[in-house]
Amino acid sequence: MRALSLVFVLAASAGLATSTLASTAEEARPTPGSGDTRAAQEGSAARAVVGQPAPDFTLQDHEGRTHRLADYRGKIVVLEWTNPECPFVVRHYNARTMQRLAQTLAGDDFVWLSINSTHHNRVEQTLESIQTYGLPFPVLQDQSGDVGRLYGARTTPHMYVIDAQGVLRYAGAIDDDPRGRSENPDNYVQRAVAALRAAQPVDPSSTQAYGCTVKYEGVR
């Protein structure tokens, strides 16, 4: 009798425990309430603010050369966050948006740096994509995602334009056409660089970037 009651009790508790765990597991994906309200992601986490000096960084590119942002003081710097696995980036690369833009804007006062913050990216993959799409600019390797987080880069592509004095003047989308429908989209980067060269204010100075998420190291 006692053994039976013990078995019953254990079975009941096991059943309850499993059902509790099952419901919590279901809720655990994607993400139910964590119990805390969140502040906006801007603020003290990312330090790239339009109108403020762009944060300095040092990264190596696909050929192992070291690039430091401060070394490019005196030039207009365009940072392009990229990930050749993302369909938005592929669409632009196939339409040669970045390639043509980089070549059109090229000059002694200009440098285009592409940055890949995908945590599982390997240099071989970068070399392959440079080959495939004919990319004329260096692709900096940021597997740790530190520079990406520093700049608050959330999408690929995500564009930043820094003026010759090192101040960030534009951050956001490459153009106003997320779905790729327009024949002649308004390219914000081209606008920003043209405005800087003409010593005009950059307008728009900040737009909502579109694209895939930057693949940082996963869920905590």
Residues that bind another protein (CB under 8 A): 1-3, 5-6, 9-10, 12-13, 16-17, 19-20, 23-24, 26-27, 30-45, 50-52, 85-88, 145-146, 149, 154-155, 178-179, 203-206, 208-220
Cis peptide bond prior to 87, omega within 30° of 0 = no
For another protein, give the closer residue by CB, 93 or 210.
210
For another protein, give the closer residue by CB, 52 or 66.
52
211, 177 contact by CB (below 8 A): no
CB of 28 to another protein, least distance (A): 10
Q: Which of 124, 17, 155, 137 minimizes the C-alpha distance to 67?
A: 137
CB of 182 to another protein, least distance (A): 14
For another protein, give the closer residue by CB, 35 or 64.
35
Q: What is the rounded distance in angstroms from the CA atom of residue 174 to the CA atom of residue 177? A: 9
160, 151 contact by CB (below 8 A): yes
What does the block give as tokens for 119?
Answer: 């945590």
CA quadruple 123, 145, 71, 43: dihedral, nearest 10: 160
For another protein, give the closer residue by CB, 138 or 172.
172
CB of 159 to another protein, least distance (A): 14
CB of 115 to another protein, least distance (A): 15
